[in-house]
């Protein structure tokens, strides 16, 4: 997971907010069974870049932290409604399940 976090950090920059959101994004991708490789490969990485940008600008970081803490140890979850990337995560998870 550290390698993914480092990769996402390199795209989001080194600001404190970016690192905080990077950690949340990596955990959310894992919790919702999103295939990171699929996001990275889609449209030459544009899907992942957009996902990271949306996450970095999200004002729901505390809600995200609370949701991740409340669902610790669980997987195959639907992303929470407050997440601006929820539709993207659901679509990516469905594609993985269909493969």
**Torsion angle of alpha carbons 72, 74, 75, 78, nearest 10°?**
-80
> What are the helix and strand counts (H, E) for the chain?
6, 0
State pTM to two decimals: 0.75
Distance (Å, rounded) from C-alpha 10 to C-alpha 6?
6
Distance (Å, rounded) from C-alpha 16 to C-alpha 39?
24
pLDDT of residue 10: 52
pLDDT of residue 1: 43
Distance (Å, rounded) from C-alpha 66 to C-alpha 93?
22
Contact 51, 39 (CB under 8 A): yes
Per-position pLDDT tens, the chain of length 99:
445 545 554 554 444 444 688 889 999 999 998 888 888 887 788 888 999 999 999 999 999 999 999 999 898 889 999 999 999 999 888 776 666
């Amino acid at each position: 997971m550290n390698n993914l976090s480092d990769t996402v950090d390199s795209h989001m920059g080194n600001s404190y907010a970016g690192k905080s959101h990077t950690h949340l994004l990596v955990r959310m991708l894992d919790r919702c069974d999103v295939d990171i490789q699929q996001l990275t490969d889609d449209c030459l990485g544009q899907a992942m870049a957009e996902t990271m940008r949306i996450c970095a600008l999200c004002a729901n970081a505390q809600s995200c932290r609370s949701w991740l803490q409340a669902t610790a140890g669980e997987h195959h979850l639907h992303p929470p409604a407050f997440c601006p990337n929820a539709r993207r995560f659901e679509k990516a998870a469905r594609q993985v399940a269909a493969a």
